[in-house]
Amino acid sequence: MKRILLIITLVLISSCKSENKNDKSLTTELQEPISEIPQVNDQFQAFIDQFPTKTLPIKINGCTDEILDLPKLDIKLSSEYTKDAEYEHIYGKISTNGNYISTITLGEADCFVPILNTYKLNGEKIDSKPINIGYCGPDPCYECVENMTIDSEYRIYVADTIKTSDCDDNFNAIAGTEKIKVVYKEGKLTKKGVIKLTNKIVKNIK
């Protein structure tokens, strides 16, 4: 069933990308990405140097075990630039579509929470948002797959694909009672470094 949930998620992501290509209001804000991060002050540069460069598009599943192996932020280098450095793991930095720097960290939770951060070149924070839905977790008669993507045009899509069932007295799922839905958000990273996200949208599948 987890494979079915994953397939549904991938189909929705693909559908979302096709629809977004027709959204002229978003594409007008896009421009060529900056391929290299400019040199900034030494303290901020030391913070940024913790992050490996990631190439768009990227996809993060916060519930996968391999994320556990990612290193944590260096608290001494990071405390000035993120308030929860002690609880954040390093994912990467991405080339941007404007004159700013963008990093992604992963906050600790039942499933790791991708946190998108943007900074001016002097280290001043522009924006920071968790890019997640937050419905995945270890509950009986409940399955959930969470995925977050940022595509090559800086469009953001995050979704929890959720299957719930009625439980018997032993907390086992009762066959035939399954319900499946997708809860998602869409958004974009603007050329000014502002992170825009919709409210949660629910799509019932079954």
Share of the chain above pLDDT 70, in %: 80
* Distance between CA atoms of residues 116 and 97, nearest Å: 14
Comparing 15 with 145, which gets the higher pLDDT? 145
Average pLDDT over residues 187-194: 97
Average pLDDT over residues 135-152: 93
21-27-32-34 Cα dihedral, nearest 10 degrees: -100
Average pLDDT over residues 49-56: 97
Average pLDDT over residues 46-72: 91
**Of the candidates 91, 102, 96, 95, the residue with the CA atom closest to the CA atom of residue 59:** 91
* Distance between CA atoms of residues 94 and 58, nearest Å: 9
What per-residue confidence (pLDDT) applies to 69? 84
How far, in Å, are 103, 130, 149 from residue 127 at the CA level? 11, 11, 18
How do residues 87-134 score in pLDDT, each as one tens digit? 999 999 999 999 999 999 999 988 899 999 999 999 999 999 999 999
Residue 183 has pLDDT above 60, yes or no: yes
Q: Which of these ranges, 27-31, 44-48, 116-120, 197-201, has the smallest mean pLDDT?
A: 27-31
